Amino acid sequence: MDRDPSAKDLIKRKLIGNGRVELAEILSKHWDTALEEYAQSLWETSSHESNLEKELVQSFQKEFLRVGYTEKQAALWIESLERTHTLQTATHLTASEGPTFFATHHLALMGIPTGESYLVAAYSGVPYANAAWSGCLNFSAELELEEILSAKAPGFSVLLKSDRDRRRDTSERRISLIPGTYRDAQVFGSEVSEKQESLSAHWNDSLKPLMPSAGSGSSFSSWASGFCHNQAKKLFPDSNIVYFDINEVIRNYLLEILPQSQNRFRGMLLNAKHFQKILGSSGVETPLFNINSKHGNRIRLEPLFLRENRLEGQNYSMNMEEEKLMQMLQERTLCPGLFIGFSVLVYLNGLNCLGSFEQVEYLARFKKIWQHFEFEGAVPQEQLQTRSLSCGRMISKDGKPVYPLDLILGKKAELEKPQTFSEWMEPLFPRLGLHS
């Protein structure tokens, strides 16, 4: 794509026309910024760096221990977070990542301060069948199915047929670990399936040591976080990377603050009439939580909105009251949504959340809501960091997408080496409706 000023201006106009105002401003500002310089800028935090709430620190610690990390590791990562005030929040929780999340990590790690930890706060409030295919191992057309999974695995013939059918329509390849009835269910609170357990002994010998135990009924997000953590150690051996479920952290936080009658955020959540008025200030109805609901023999994620004093979805309704919220959070049947999560992370605790081109747009909308919050000591509106764009797509020099699993299984790829931020973003242009 032409790099002259007219190309930059044309792309900016197209993005604004497509409703991507924040992305347009970021890309225009950093069009010619050297990539390494841009990566370093992602870790520059605001001058207002308050201490993290003790309830949030405790919530991170609980999640690190739940996933299976040690207390020593948890303490190390929390200390680093308290120094950097930065999280990676661009990714969905998934068994294996694709070229987009791979590029996201590559960019962020290019600029991370020496000696700091990289905290990947993966979002689990999505259906399994999201763009990242959370319930699948994702790989490229360069691999055959038998290179990943033994032909002796239960149901291999069915998986092989599905793979051949998919290859006729797309270059994306994947092996599903979940039953088909759960493809629209949310990842948060889900369990390892019998199907996944039955496959555990049949993976490629290079993958088996990276996979935590996968007993049927155990936590899927704990397993996936551990597996991605082990993959990352192979891909980025010089970096200290931790994967975890950010929705679990926010769940822990809500369970900490809901019993506290004097807590300001708790008071606002439970003052439904006032809270609904504040939420309406953005002009768009904003979901607060998700649940799973049954649709025939299928399970489907259902967002819940605050209406009057109730949380309501398409097929479910409940009172917005402390006892019910506590019960469902403890059971993991109620998943905190994006607005609740980022209100805690960004507004209440001033964290710098690196994110996707979608995130920078909805954080701008959330910021309009936060300006109606009246919390003494909160981060000043002008210092809230909502434009920390961390995305991309990992491409080889021959133009093919590069998958982490391919590299782990020994495939070679000579990576493109873009010099500027606009060159780095170019592989995403078709997805953004921009064409060369």
* pLDDT single digits (tens) 99-115: 999 999 999 999 999 99
| Contact between 193 and 178 (Cβ < 8 Å) | yes
Please say if the pLDDT value at position 418 is more than 70: yes
Look up residue 123 and give its two tokens: 């979002």
Give the pLDDT confidence score for residue 168 in this predicted structure. 74
Which of these, 153, 282, 295, 135, lies nearest to 220 by C-alpha position? Answer: 135
Which of these, 86, 52, 57, lies nearest to 256 by C-alpha position? Answer: 57
- Rounded to two decimals, the pTM is 0.96
Q: What is the rounded CA–CA span in Å between residue 84 and residue 117? A: 9
Give the model's confidence band at 164: pLDDT under 50 very low, under 70 low, under 90 confident, else very high. Answer: confident
Average pLDDT, the chain: 94
Q: What are phi and psi of 298, to 5 degrees?
A: -110, 155
SS3 368: helix
Q: What is the rounded CA–CA span in Å between residue 95 and residue 148? A: 14
Give the pLDDT confidence score for residue 135 in this predicted structure. 95
The residue to which tokens 């991370």 are assigned: 112
Q: What is the rounded CA–CA span in Å between residue 242 and residue 238? A: 13
**What average pLDDT does range 168-193 have in this prediction?**
91
